[in-house]
Amino acid sequence: MTEEEIVEELASAIPEYAQKKMSEVPRRQREKAGIDYNLTMAVYIIPMLVYRHDERNDWIAERMVEIWNSWKVTGYPLTRSEFGQIAGGFKKGLCYITTAVCLSQGKADDCYELNTLRSYRDQYLMRTKEGRALVDEYYEIAPGIVFVIGMQKEPDRIYEEILKDYLMPCIRYVEEGEYEACKELYCRMVGRLRSRYLPEDMPKYS
């Protein structure tokens, strides 16, 4: 076999397996199964292949992503990802839920909404043990939620709903000094998004 043929065989193995398994999933369960498969590819398989930046493994990873998308294995797009991009980028605060929502609305990183909730986090939540625990838990699961929402067919619509149903009411609570009400609503939002978008064994980025 030529090197190209070897790469093609290796790169197609997982997409072929996933496509077969997807064909066996009942229609009503395909959306969740598709998200789970894409998440596994994006969080585990592709980052593992490119971790050492080996030329052949990079080639396999690139071809695997191409095959996955051209075969429409799950119907959700897959992009190349690396551990540093997933963990480091999220921990720098680039892609948490509120930031992702505001970016989808074309708002700047220092917009009123973000500054209001950051101030609430720092001046209220971080001053108590319970509040710090909530923030830590949020840091662990919020990156995964944003990651999966980004794989949906209409992420901007989802973020619009989050803004309307949760973030704007939270901001109004903060403006009115109803800090506990804001905390309860935000926790409810994270809990619902977690149950909707994350599998039980979703990895944490701490």
Q: What is the per-residue pLDDT across 84-141, written as a single tens digit (0 to 9) for each?
A: 766 654 444 434 788 889 989 999 888 999 999 999 999 999 999 999 998 888 887 8
pLDDT for the residue numbered 137? 85
CA distance 103 to 159: 10
Residues 16 and 97 in one domain: no
For the whole model, what pTM was predicted?
A: 0.66
Taking the CB of residue 195, how many other CB atoms lie within 10 A of it?
9
Asked if residue 95 is part of any domain, the answer here is yes
Residues 106 and 144 in one domain: yes
Q: What is the per-residue pLDDT across 146-167, written as a single tens digit (0 to 9) for each?
A: 878 887 878 999 999 999 999 9
Residues 71 and 172 in one domain: no
Of the three residues 53, 81, 109, the one that is the final residue of a domain is 81
Supply the mean pLDDT for the chain. 88
- What's the total number of domains in the chain? 2
Q: Report DSSP letters for 70-84, one per residue.
A: HHTSSSS------HI
Please return the burial class of 101, using the count of CB atoms within 10 Å of its CB with bins 0-12, 13-18 and 19+: buried
Residues 23 and 101 in one domain: no
Structural domain of 71 = 3-81
Of the three residues 81, 98, 124, the one that is the final residue of a domain is 81
Q: What is the per-residue pLDDT across 170-205, written as a single tens digit (0 to 9) for each?
A: 999 999 999 999 999 999 998 999 888 886 655 444
pLDDT for the residue numbered 150? 82
**Residue 65 corresponds to which amino acid?**
V
Asked if residue 206 is part of any domain, the answer here is no
Asked if residue 139 is part of any domain, the answer here is yes
Asked if residue 187 is part of any domain, the answer here is yes
Sign for the pseudo-dihedral over CA of 168, 116, 129, 176:
negative
Residues 90 and 186 in one domain: yes
- Please give the distance of CA 177 from its chain centroid, rounded to a whole number: 31
Residues 14 and 65 in one domain: yes
pLDDT for the residue numbered 176? 98
Residues 42 and 75 in one domain: yes
pLDDT for the residue numbered 4? 95
Of the three residues 81, 99, 122, the one that is the final residue of a domain is 81
Asked if residue 205 is part of any domain, the answer here is no
